[in-house]
Structure 1
Amino acid sequence: MTVFADRWTDRLRSGFPLLAAMQVRLIGDAGAWQLHAPFDPNRNDHATAFGGSLSTLATIAGWLYVNEAAGETLDPDLIDVVIQTGNAHFVTPLQADLVARVMPVDDAELAVFHRTLARRGRARLTVHATVGDGKTEAVRFTGQYVAVRLPQSPQ
């Protein structure tokens, strides 16, 4: 694993007990990454991937993307990112390990996000993600996230 992958895998698993139970891990580096979760702990009673696991993985992939984007503008330790709205469209059942990918956000949209975050200390970004087995798409997800600059504690 890369330092980037190790750092995020540790943060996800320690910060979100559900993700530890799902055995989520990040594969890749800052330039190209995916979230993975093995099928077995994420299956349902129909021997397909559990919808809650699929939507959770997509939601977290978007959250991570926005954290990384916000960290380009502000100190990552002074940012809080939360999901505001999310919509998962379940396309087809999945009977394999889960792989989540975020579609790159348009450069112009990212520029607005960065300017707004720098100026106001708060900005929204909509991201699109898919979850599947790496070849077949099982879920299409759209989420709007809010990044907020945290108050700095006195030194």
Structure 2
Amino acid sequence: MDSPLGAADPAAEPRRRELQSLLRTEIPIAAQMDVAVDQIAPQGLWLSMPLAPNRNPHQTAFAGSLNSLCTLAGWAMTHLLLEQLGIDGATVLRRSSIKYHEPVESDRVVAWCLPPRDADWEHFVEMLPEKGQAKLDLVVEIAGSVSERPAVLFAGNYVVLGNGES
């Protein structure tokens, strides 16, 4: 099955700018954190933020900012997928878990939201019109500099309450 985000889109730049504007206007913390949408591709969605306004007293990324960046990445991925389906809906985070494996020290912190697994995506697409709501489990990683594993690993369960086709 193809990626839920579709094939690489040569006209992705306007979509990237629109998503960044949406995040910054509709979710004010995204503007406060200076979140940027770096890339939308079949392999996922990348958001980033500068370390400086999101640091703790140890000069590493503040855990709350890391959690917020991951939450925003999952929300943005869900938004893109709904847009692709032509469906309006309210997206909320139902539950999440986050593991901080190592401090994040890079000047630019990058979160990568992986596309949903094929089975999860198929179930989501089936349930949303049938039940008027559906859930989507997403994983977001923030790369580390010390080990092979991610510095931060986030799992979010997003629920969409569908409002029909847009």
| Percent of aligned pairs with the same amino acid | 29
Cα distance in 2 for partners of 1:103, 1:86 equals 15
3-state DSSP of counterpart to 2:104: coil
**1:4-83 equivalences in 2 (<5 Å):** 4-31=15-42, 32-75=44-87, 78-83=88-93
**1:116-127 equivalences in 2 (<5 Å):** 116-127=127-138
Find the counterpart in structure 2 of residue 84 from structure 1. 94
- CA deviation string 1:38-97 (max 9, x = no partner): 11111111111000010100011111112222333343xx21100000111001001112
Contact 1:79/1:149 (CA < 8 Å) preserved in 2?
yes
| Partner AA of 2:160 in structure 1 | A
Contact 1:99/1:132 (CA < 8 Å) preserved in 2?
yes
Q: How many residues get paired?
A: 150
Distance 1:89 1:68, change over 3 A: same
Report the TM-score when normalising by structure 1. Answer: 0.87
Cα distance in 1 for partners of 2:150, 2:51 equals 15
RMSD: 2.1
Cα distance in 1 for partners of 2:117, 2:149 equals 24
Structure 2 residue ranges without an equivalent (≥5): 1-11
Contact 2:94/2:157 (CA < 8 Å) preserved in 1?
yes
Cα distance in 1 for partners of 2:45, 2:153 equals 17
Report the TM-score when normalising by structure 2. Answer: 0.82
Deviation at 1:29, TM superposition (A): 3.1
Find the counterpart in structure 2 of residue 147 from structure 1. 160
Contact 1:5/1:28 (CA < 8 Å) preserved in 2?
yes
| Partner AA of 2:151 in structure 1 | A
Find the counterpart in structure 1 of residue 118 from structure 2. 107
Structure 1 residue ranges without an equivalent (≥5): none
Cα distance in 2 for partners of 1:71, 1:151 equals 12
